[in-house]
Amino acid sequence: MTNPPLEITTTRIFSAPPELVWRAWTDPAHITNWWGPTGFSTTIHKMDFVPGGEWNFVMHGPDGTDYVNRKTFLEISFLERIVMQHNGHPRHRMTVTFEPYEGGTLLTLHHLFADPTEYDIAIRQHGAIEGARETLNRFAEILAKI
């Protein structure tokens, strides 16, 4: 018997240095312009970007549905790594890594879900794999303008 999947990993190479990618990823003024899949907008209510700090925001879907999100920053290693816990459903830990790569940056999103049910919610109800790709596409568009 094989174990059910619990992880989603998405990678993308950006032709911008890690410093710029980090800033666009961590500055609320930039995040509100790209966070979420195509058609979404984001309102940040709180972003205390320190280990143990909270990030509370609402993603507004193109159909008018609001998705309340609460995350806790578990680890922040400047220009290298951010680890956060998503404190709702689907429950998961998200790790973002930033690696210098051929004059640009290799960014990796890794989601580790609490159990197979949470993974299934992410995949079937929220379209997490395609949503991550769309989010990184939007991120690339904003990054090119900074």
Query: Domain map of the chain by residue range?
Result: 7-145
Q: Please tell me the distance from the alpha carbon of residue 9 to that of residue 142, in angstroms, as a whole number.
A: 22
Helical pair 18-26 and 128-145, crossing angle rounded to 10 deg: 110
Q: Residue 131 in 3-state DSSP?
A: helix
Instruction: Tell me the pTM.
Output: 0.92
8 A C-beta contact, residue 71 and residue 51: no
* Contacts of 54 by beta carbon, 8 Å cutoff, 6+ apart: 46, 47, 48, 70, 71, 72, 73
Confidence at residue 5, expressed as pLDDT on a 0 to 100 scale: 81
Nearest to 106 by CA among 96, 119, 114, 93: 96
According to the model, what pLDDT value does residue 88 have?
A: 87
**Per-residue model confidence as pLDDT tens for the chain (146 residues):** 556 689 999 999 999 999 999 999 999 999 999 999 999 999 999 999 999 999 999 999 999 999 999 999 999 999 999 999 999 889 999 999 999 999 999 999 999 998 999 999 999 998 999 999 999 999 999 999 98
Class of the CATH-defined domain 7-145:
alpha beta
